[in-house]
Amino acid sequence: MLRASRHGPLTRIELLPTLLGRPVFSVSAYLLGDTLIDSGCQKTAAELAAWCDGRGIARIVHTHHHEDHAGGDRLLVTRFGLEVSAPPLTAAILEDFYRLPIYRRVVWGQPGNVRARAMAGAVEIDGRRFDVISTPGHAADHVCLYDPGSGWVFTGDLFISPEVLYLRRVEDARKHLDSLRRILELQPRVLICSHAGVIQDASAALSRRIAHWESVAERAKLLRARGRSLGSLTRELLGREGWMTWISLGEFSKRNLVRSLLRGRPDDPCATVVGGRDDAFV
Ligand SMILES: [Zn+2]
């Protein structure tokens, strides 16, 4: 399923893969000038390609490599000869995409390999100069694209929603919080998110997003200091796990979020609260 909506010069292309006939996990690509920002997943690639036909699109620019952001590339490159630009780490993955775990292949589909041009510093889109800002945490290769002139920022999966409850096991919630704070410091005006859409008050949204995880981290530390287990305190703070936790065999869970928020960096004084006890969490 595909839904397109205009926001001034920007078009949001909302893509909804289906599972057992029902739409799941909406993700958005964007069109600005002749450039697509991300390309959705492999399962929605044919719909996106049909929509792109005749629109004079020349290239795809990526925020990160995940399969719900780069899965449309192969078909678009094959059909229209689009150029792909991506952060260097992303470009390396796109050229030889790793085999996804089965639940990710079932929901989003396996991306095909594409040649990508490595971009760094800044990228020009529709006459605007976007700074390419490294924002790791959700993924090591994740970047935001920020135009200081208009205050627009494409945030990929940095924001997602005001209250994110689930994390993949490999994600780093503390790095993610640092990245959120770094983008907030820029005082962007409009936040363009791959899941939440176009948000006009970017700073308020980012502040709320940061405050939610900081609050979860603080309460988790208090409960942990009282000797509560990770499972027990996660249930108290965030409720029971959802169906994605079970079909992903725990790769995608609330427990992962709390564990990652509690696990401090060695130079982080907060880490001493759980220092030496991390093993008990695994
Ligand atoms: Zn992602």
Domains of the chain by start residue, with CATH: 1-119 (3.60.15.10), 121-269 (3.60.15.10)
CA of 278 to the centre of ligand 1 (A): 26
CA of 66 to the centre of ligand 1 (A): 5
What are 68's two structure tokens? 């719900």
Burial 128-146 (b: 16+ CB within 10 A, else e): bebebbebbbbbbbbbbbb
pLDDT at residue 272 tops 60:
no
CA of 139 to the centre of ligand 1 (A): 7
Cα–Cα distance between 76 and 72 in angstroms, integer?
6
What are 219's two structure tokens? 């309460």
The residue with tokens 């078009």 is: 11
Amino acid 281: pLDDT = 35
CA of 138 to the centre of ligand 1 (A): 6
Amino acid 263: pLDDT = 86
Q: At what angle do helices 254-262 and 202-225 cross, to 10 degrees?
A: 80
The pLDDT tens digits of the residues spanning 160-201 come to: 999 999 999 999 999 999 999 999 999 999 999 999 999 999
CA of 110 to the centre of ligand 1 (A): 14
Q: What is the 3 state secondary structure string of 128-141?
A: EEEEEEECCCCCCC
pTM comes to 0.91
- What is the number of other CB atoms lying within 10 angstroms of the CB of residue 100? 18
